[in-house]
């Protein structure tokens, strides 16, 4: 199996290189395919890394569970269409379980929720956007610590926009033939209110719930010794602020 995966890595990298070569040498201007290919290759590398890691059965269960929760988090908000709770779940997972788990939960939650809402050309972008959101939350903790609520809040706010911008890219790339700057700006302007709502709901969730969610997940993590990155110190900052 390890052999098969090693060759998979090679294949992925080769595809990646071929795409670049195709683009630059052959003047083959298919941006949608190119961007999809790049996204696919990047995610593939993450997935393969995860496959090759030694991991406990329990951790697989927890990740699957968090993916499912991220995917259904929208259900109670059926009456409030502008609220996007999935991002909050993914950010929290990244904060507590680290960058890699954050990426996995983000990327796979996109697939799973689209199984029920409908897959489309947007699925890979969504996977990538939520994946990097989870990952960056993990990195945020690693480099800055998560002591301050305002850091988290601004992080969530910014991500509300980055997510929207990433999702806009698929529209841009699929219409590269008649690309104009006006078109680009038009798309980004038209998604502004939607992205703002996303950003605000992130801030609301983070300020109301990050403390309790991190406590719940940490309690569980400690109880069962789960998904602990040995490089990281357990964060204790939140024990003070929790009421």
Partner 1 sequence: MLTLAMYFNHPIFLVTILFLLILVNISHDRGKDLRKWLPTLSIMSTLIILINPFLVSRGTTILFYFRGKQVTLEAFMYGITMALFIAIILVVFISFNLILNGNRFLYIFSKILPRIALMIMMAIRLVPLMKRRLDEIGDVQRLRGMSMTVGDFKTRVRNGMLRVQILLTWSLEEAIHVTNSMKARGYGTEGKKSSYTPYFMDKRDWVWLFVLAGLMMLCFYGGRLGYGKMIIYPELGPWQFFWIDWIVFCSMFIITSFPLFIEGREKIRWKLSI
Token pair listed for 67: 């993916």
- Smallest CA-to-CA distance from 140 within 124, 129, 154, 126 is with 154
Single residue of 10, 17, 20, 77 touching partner 1 by CB under 8 A: 77
Single residue of 34, 38, 111, 184 touching partner 1 by CB under 8 A: 111
* Residues 134 and 104 sit within 8 Å (Cβ to Cβ): yes
Interaction residues for partner 1, span 179-238 (CB under 8 A): 201, 204-205, 208-209, 212-213, 216-217, 220, 224
Under the binding rule (CB under 8 A), the answer on residue 65 touching partner 1 is yes
CA diameter of the chain: 61
> Whole-angstrom Cα distance, residue 94 to residue 138?
4
Q: Tell me the backbone φ, ψ of residue 192, rounded to 5 degrees.
A: -60, -50
To partner 1, the closest distance from the beta carbon of 131 in angstroms equals 12
CA atoms 18, 168, 63, 151: torsion sign: positive
Under the binding rule (CB under 8 A), the answer on residue 169 touching partner 1 is no
3-state class percentages of the chain: helix first, strand second, coil last, to nearest 5: 80, 0, 20
To partner 1, the closest distance from the beta carbon of 230 in angstroms equals 21
Residues that bind partner 1 (CB under 8 A): 4, 8, 26, 30, 32-33, 47-48, 50-51, 55-58, 60-65, 67-69, 71-73, 75-77, 79-80, 83, 85, 88-89, 104, 108-109, 111-112, 115-116, 118-121, 174, 178, 201, 204-205, 208-209, 212-213, 216-217, 220, 224
């Amino acid at each position: 199996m390890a052999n098969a995966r090693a060759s998979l890595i090679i294949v992925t990298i080769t595809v990646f290189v071929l795409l670049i070569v195709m683009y630059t040498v052959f003047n083959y201007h298919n941006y949608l395919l190119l961007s999809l290919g790049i996204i696919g290759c990047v995610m593939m590398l993450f997935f393969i890394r995860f496959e090759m890691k030694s991991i406990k059965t329990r951790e697989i269960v927890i990740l699957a569970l968090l993916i499912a929760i991220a995917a259904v988090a929208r259900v109670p908000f059926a009456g409030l269409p502008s609220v996007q709770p999935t991002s909050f779940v993914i950010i929290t997972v990244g904060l507590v379980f680290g960058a890699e788990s954050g990426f996995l939960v983000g990327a796979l939650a996109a697939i799973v929720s689209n199984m029920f809402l409908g897959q489309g050309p947007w699925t890979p972008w969504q996977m990538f956007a939520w994946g990097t959101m989870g990952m960056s939350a993990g990195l945020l903790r690693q480099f800055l610590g998560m002591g301050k609520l305002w850091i988290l809040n601004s992080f969530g706010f910014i991500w509300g926009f980055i997510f929207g911008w990433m999702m806009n890219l698929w529209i841009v790339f699929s219409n590269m033939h008649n690309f104009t700057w006006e078109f680009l700006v038009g798309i980004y302007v038209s998604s502004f209110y939607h992205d703002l709502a996303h950003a605000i709901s992130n801030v609301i969730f983070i300020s109301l719930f990050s403390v309790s969610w991190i406590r719940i997940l940490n309690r569980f993590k400690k109880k069962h010794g789960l998904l602990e990155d040995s490089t990281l110190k357990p964060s204790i900052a939140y024990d003070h602020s929790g009421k």
